[in-house]
């Protein structure tokens, strides 16, 4: 047996894959068996290369194996791999928190570390509820979120989520949330509705939670940044917290460092993960204002009794610190702005491809809808996926939505190749 066959056999016997129906996987899937990655390319065990069209689930914003990231990780591993943040600190956590606050939306002055996007949001939810509990508004325990939202997979954040197939089995178990349609946010009448909702629920709402500007998992759905301004105003007027889930959008995915920057909106809580370590290690942060931080001071019972074992992990923190420095030293955002224009131009043309009903782009995101209903469970995107694999690109779809979210640092010729493969694959899949 060659290496590929051996690994696939072990995998199919033992590994339960995320977001995967396993019987079909076992029968039919021919998974990529990846042995290495550099820049925007993945290499399989047979030496074939694939352009990483989604930056490995939206994380590898600096490409794979950035030499400074690898060097920082090696040096940190030699010095200190892990200690807890209980009663101690270390250079990576302290330096990272300071640097992150310096780059964060204004007013986000304190950093709580965790391991992944879901926990970053989960921590934010608990902070909001506990804040109100001990600061005079204990009835505020509900959340308002957007239809189609995705905030992760733990039970708490599943309640916020609006992707129906993901929530259905847990109906009844989930926290009570109010969902509103993002498409409505820009419209005056809907804003009236939202305003009335927030006003009437002001006694029960702990926070509004949203993915600013783009709902990624819902199918790269964009909405008008002006809606953010309006939601911010409503939250301020009724003194409800605004939690910005920048897990996907942060670190320049949509252009500026934060998607909230499109509307100069300052959240009360900002959640960061995915690009935080540029796809190297699981690491996340929840940033808060002075007001929220101070709401936990005083009596011992007011403390935030929450903390994952690996929070502030030195390896992750050191890498995350290096990532911020690379953003600065290599002008990552400035250079990505030029690439974003190529993506915008290409996706405008993709409107003419067979079977395509709509296209859109924002920053380093380009997406198109195929003419098929069925949403997340649609097979249409998977036909394009197969075609793209054969042509050397990994273009995992979201149902009938085919998209690219490449590393922000993708080389121009790689980006051109990725766009060409996408177009050719859509054409071939339509035949
Ligand atoms: C991926 C994602 C999450 C969850 O992050 P995990 O690290 O997968 O737990 C939360 N919010 C958004 C917007 C995401 O894209």
At 27-49, the pLDDT tens digits run 999 999 999 999 999 999 999 99
pTM, full prediction = 0.96
| Mean pLDDT calculated for residue range 177-203 | 77
Nearest 10 degrees: Cα torsion 413, 419, 425, 426: -170
pLDDT at res. 196: 85
| Mean pLDDT calculated for residue range 345-354 | 97
Beta bridge partners of residue 144, listed in sequence order: 178, 208
The residue whose two tokens read 């009724």 is 238
| Mean pLDDT calculated for residue range 191-203 | 85
pLDDT at res. 164: 80
Please tell me the distance from the alpha carbon of residue 344 to that of residue 299, in angstroms, as a whole number. 53
| Mean pLDDT calculated for residue range 314-327 | 98
DSSP string, 371-425: S---GGG-SHHHHHHHHHHHTTEE---BTTEEEE---TT--HHHHHHHHHHHHHH
Question: Looking at per-residue confidence, does 178 or 97 come out higher?
Answer: 97
Q: Is 143 in the pocket of ligand 1 (CB under 6 A)?
A: no
Q: Residue 185: pLDDT above 70?
A: no
Q: How far is the CA of 337 from the centre of ligand 1 (A)?
A: 24
pLDDT at res. 30: 92
Please tell me the distance from the alpha carbon of residue 108 to that of residue 289, in angstroms, as a whole number. 5
Task: Please choose from 120, 152, 254 the residue to mutate so as to test ligand 1's pocket, defined by most ligand atoms within 8 A of CB.
Answer: 152
Q: Residue 57: pLDDT above 60?
A: yes
* Segment 227-233 long-range contacts (CB within 8 Å, at least 24 positions apart): 227/182, 227/185, 227/186, 228/260, 228/262, 228/263, 228/265, 229/263, 229/264, 229/265, 230/185, 230/191, 230/194, 231/185, 231/194, 232/263, 232/265, 232/266, 232/267
Report how far apart, in Å, the C-alpha atoms of 424 and of each of 99, 250, 418 are. Answer: 43, 30, 10
For 410-419, how does the pLDDT look when each residue is reduced to its tens digit (9 = 90+)? 999 999 999 9
Phi, psi of 130 (to 5 degrees): -65, -35
Please tell me the distance from the alpha carbon of residue 18 to that of residue 35, in angstroms, as a whole number. 20
Q: Is 276 in the pocket of ligand 1 (CB under 6 A)?
A: no
pLDDT at res. 41: 98
pLDDT at res. 103: 98
Please tell me the distance from the alpha carbon of residue 243 to that of residue 125, in angstroms, as a whole number. 8
H or E stretch covering 179: strand 177-180
Q: Residue 328: pLDDT above 70?
A: yes
Are 148 and 161 a contacting pair, CB within 8 Å? Answer: no
Q: Residue 184: pLDDT above 70?
A: no
Task: Please choose from 18, 145, 217, 219 the residue to mutate so as to test ligand 1's pocket, defined by most ligand atoms within 8 A of CB.
Answer: 217
Q: Which two tokens stand for residue 267?
A: 């959240």
Of 156, 215, 210, the residue nearest 179 (C-alpha) = 210
Please tell me the distance from the alpha carbon of residue 120 to that of residue 261, in angstroms, as a whole number. 20
* Bridge-based pairing state of the strands 142-146 and 205-210: parallel
Question: What is the b/e burial string over 77-86, where b = at least 16 CB atoms within 10 angstroms of the residue's CB?
Answer: eeeeeeeebe
Of 197, 209, 214, the residue nearest 243 (C-alpha) = 209
Q: Residue 186: pLDDT above 80?
A: no
Are 98 and 321 a contacting pair, CB within 8 Å? Answer: no
Q: How far is the CA of 47 from the centre of ligand 1 (A)?
A: 31
Q: First CA to last CA across the chain, in angstroms? A: 36
Q: Computed from CA positions of residues 213, 218, 221, 226, in that sequence, does the dihedral angle turn out positive or negative?
A: negative
Question: Looking at per-residue confidence, does 372 or 132 come out higher?
Answer: 132
Q: How far is the CA of 151 from the centre of ligand 1 (A)?
A: 5
Q: How far is the CA of 113 from the centre of ligand 1 (A)?
A: 15
Are 243 and 210 a contacting pair, CB within 8 Å? Answer: yes
**3-state per-residue secondary structure call for 42-92:** EEECCCCEEEECCHHHHCCCCCECCHHHHHHHHHHHHHCCCCCCCCCCCHH
Closest ligand 1 atom to Cα of 246: 13
Q: Is 215 in the pocket of ligand 1 (CB under 6 A)?
A: no
Mean pLDDT of the chain: 94
Please tell me the distance from the alpha carbon of residue 118 to that of residue 159, in angstroms, as a whole number. 12
Report how far apart, in Å, the C-alpha atoms of 185 and of each of 134, 228, 337 are. Answer: 32, 8, 27
For 205-224, how does the pLDDT look when each residue is reduced to its tens digit (9 = 90+)? 999 999 999 999 999 999 98
Min mean pLDDT across 69-73, 176-180, 242-246 is at 176-180
Q: Residue 73: pLDDT above 70?
A: yes
Nearest residue (CA) to ligand 1, atom 6: 117
| Mean pLDDT calculated for residue range 38-63 | 98
| Mean pLDDT calculated for residue range 39-66 | 98
Q: Residue 189: pLDDT above 80?
A: no
Q: Residue 187: pLDDT above 80?
A: no
Q: Which two tokens stand for residue 79?
A: 């010095």
Beta bridge partners of residue 83, listed in sequence order: none
Are 400 and 380 a contacting pair, CB within 8 Å? Answer: yes
Share of the chain above pLDDT 70, in %: 97
Nearest 10 degrees: Cα torsion 59, 75, 34, 391: 60
pLDDT at res. 163: 79
| Mean pLDDT calculated for residue range 183-199 | 70
Give the pLDDT band of residue 244 (cuts 50, 70, 90): very high
Give the pLDDT band of residue 181 (cuts 50, 70, 90): confident
Q: Residue 188: pLDDT above 90?
A: no
Min mean pLDDT across 25-39, 178-192, 359-373 is at 178-192
Q: Which two tokens stand for residue 172?
A: 């009844």
pLDDT at res. 335: 98
Q: Residue 374: pLDDT above 70?
A: no
Please tell me the distance from the alpha carbon of residue 397 to that of residue 382, in angstroms, as a whole number. 6
Mutual orientation of helices 332-350 and 412-430 as an angle, nearest 10°?
20
Q: Residue 275: pLDDT above 90?
A: yes
Min mean pLDDT across 25-39, 156-170, 378-392 is at 156-170
pLDDT at res. 159: 94
Give the pLDDT band of residue 180 (cuts 50, 70, 90): confident
Q: Residue 242: pLDDT above 60?
A: yes
Give the pLDDT band of residue 1 (cuts 50, 70, 90): confident
pLDDT at res. 162: 83
């Amino acid at each position: 047996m060659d290496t590929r066959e051996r690994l696939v056999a072990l995998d199919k016997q033992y590994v339960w894959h995320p977001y995967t129906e396993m019987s079909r996987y076992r029968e039919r899937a021919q998974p990529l068996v990846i042995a290495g990655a550099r820049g925007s390319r993945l290499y399989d065990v047979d030496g074939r290369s694939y352009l990483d069209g989604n930056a490995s689930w939206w994380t590898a914003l600096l490409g794979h194996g950035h030499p400074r990231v690898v060097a920082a990780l090696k040096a940190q591993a030699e010095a200190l791999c892990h200690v807890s943040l209980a009663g101690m600190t270390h250079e990576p956590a302290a330096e990272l928190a300071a640097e992150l606050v310096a780059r964060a939306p204004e007013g986000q002055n304190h950093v709580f570390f965790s391991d992944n996007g879901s926990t970053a949001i989960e921590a934010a939810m608990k902070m909001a509820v506990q804040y109100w509990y001990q600061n005079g508004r204990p009835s505020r325990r509900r959340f308002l979120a957007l239809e189609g939202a995705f905030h992760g997979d733990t039970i708490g954040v599943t309640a916020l989520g609006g992707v129906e197939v993901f929530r259905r089995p847990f109906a009844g178990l989930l926290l009570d949330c109010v969902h509103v349609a993002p498409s409505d946010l820009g419209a005056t009448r809907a804003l009236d509705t939202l305003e009335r909702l927030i006003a009437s629920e002001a006694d029960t709402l702990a926070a509004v939670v949203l993915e600013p500007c783009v709902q990624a998992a819902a199918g790269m759905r964009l909405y008008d940044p002006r809606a953010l301004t309006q939601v911010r105003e409503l939250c301020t007027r009724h003194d409800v917290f605004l939690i910005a889930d920048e897990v996907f959008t942060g670190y320049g995915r949509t252009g500026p460092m934060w998607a909230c920057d499109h509307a100069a909106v300052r959240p009360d809580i900002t959640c960061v993960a995915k690009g935080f370590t540029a796809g190297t290690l699981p690491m996340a942060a929840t940033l808060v204002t002075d007001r929220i931080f101070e709401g936990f001071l005083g009596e011992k019972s007011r403390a935030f009794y929450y903390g994952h074992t690996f929070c502030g992990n030195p390896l992750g923190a050191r890498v995350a610190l290096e990532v911020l420095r690379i953003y600065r030293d290599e002008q990552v955002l400035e250079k990505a702005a030029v690439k974003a224009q190529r993506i915008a131009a290409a996706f405008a043309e993709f409107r003419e491809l067979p079977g395509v009903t709509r296209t859109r782009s924002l920053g380093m995101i380009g997406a198109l809808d195929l003419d098929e209903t069925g949403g997340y469970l649609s097979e249409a995107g998977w036909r394009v996926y197969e075609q793209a694999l054969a042509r050397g690109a990994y273009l995992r779809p979201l149902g009938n939505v085919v998209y690219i979210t490449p590393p922000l640092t993708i080389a121009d010729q790689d980006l051109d190749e990725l766009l060409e493969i996408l177009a050719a694959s859509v054409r071939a899949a339509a035949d």
